[in-house]
């Protein structure tokens, strides 16, 4: 919930900062965002299981987890904003670059730098966890990473899907806004998970179905733009 709340609120803040939202549109977006969050909460807590993040460290560890999760949610939105740095100032809310180059080239560069930074961070994390577990070196940790050659098509699909997602968040916010973009992204995740649960023999409860319905309704409300008078 903290992750979704941070993502949607950060996206809404960027839309608000662009100056394109009227008061009526802002109320609609806020209502839609909290409708989506209500649907997510209903889906999470309908199982009746308790959720605890306190762990052995007590309150400080819990607060650190919440802060880190919310920072991650905001990071998704900032990634979209910074990856679209090649957009010109003619598009409200977009960033500009110092170098005079085509928008597509600047966006491709931004996306590449973003992925290189992400890969560097993940390699550093693997090295850290390897050392904590008594591993010899980062090289051995990477070589021992569980990968099978027979899964090449899955890795290829995952890479293509990641490239499609990254390109989408470069283009969609300028068309429908950050709030609607990430709201529909969340809807896609939940509907896919819901479909997989059913496909694997799961029987969804009424609360889960109601939660998904709330999420879809919230996405529709938040993305709808009032007609100009």
Task: Mean pLDDT check: name the lowest of 15-19, 50-54, 66-70, 188-192.
Answer: 50-54
What confidence tier does 52 reach under pLDDT thresholds 50, 70, 90?
low
C-alpha–C-alpha distance, residues 144 and 131, integer Å: 14
Mean pLDDT in residue range 130-147: 60
Chain segment 157-184, per-residue pLDDT in tens: 988 888 888 888 888 888 888 888 888 8
pTM equals: 0.68
């Amino acid at each position: 919930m903290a992750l979704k709340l941070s993502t949607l609120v950060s996206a809404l803040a960027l839309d608000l900062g662009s100056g394109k939202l009227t008061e009526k549109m802002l109320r609609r977006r806020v209502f839609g965002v909290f409708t989506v969050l209500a649907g997510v909460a209903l889906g999470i807590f309908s199982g009746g299981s308790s959720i605890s993040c306190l762990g052995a460290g007590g309150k400080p560890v819990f607060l650190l987890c919440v802060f880190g999760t919310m920072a991650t949610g905001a990071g998704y939105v900032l990634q979209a904003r910074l990856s679209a740095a090649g957009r010109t100032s003619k598009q409200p809310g977009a960033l500009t670059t110092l170098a005079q180059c085509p928008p597509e080239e600047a966006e491709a560069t931004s996306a590449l730098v973003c992925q290189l930074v992400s890969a560097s961070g993940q390699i550093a994390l693997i090295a850290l966890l390897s050392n904590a577990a008594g591993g010899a070196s980062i090289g051995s940790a990477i070589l021992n990473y569980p990968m099978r050659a027979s899964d090449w098509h899955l890795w290829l699909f995952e890479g293509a899907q990641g490239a499609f997602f990254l390109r989408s968040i470069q283009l969609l916010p300028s068309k429908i806004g950050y709030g609607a973009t990430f709201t529909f992204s969340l809807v896609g995740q939940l509907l896919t998970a819901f479909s997989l649960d059913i496909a694997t023999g799961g029987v969804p409860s009424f609360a889960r179905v109601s939660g998904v319905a709330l999420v879809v309704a919230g996405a529709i409300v938040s993305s709808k733009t009032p007609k100009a008078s």
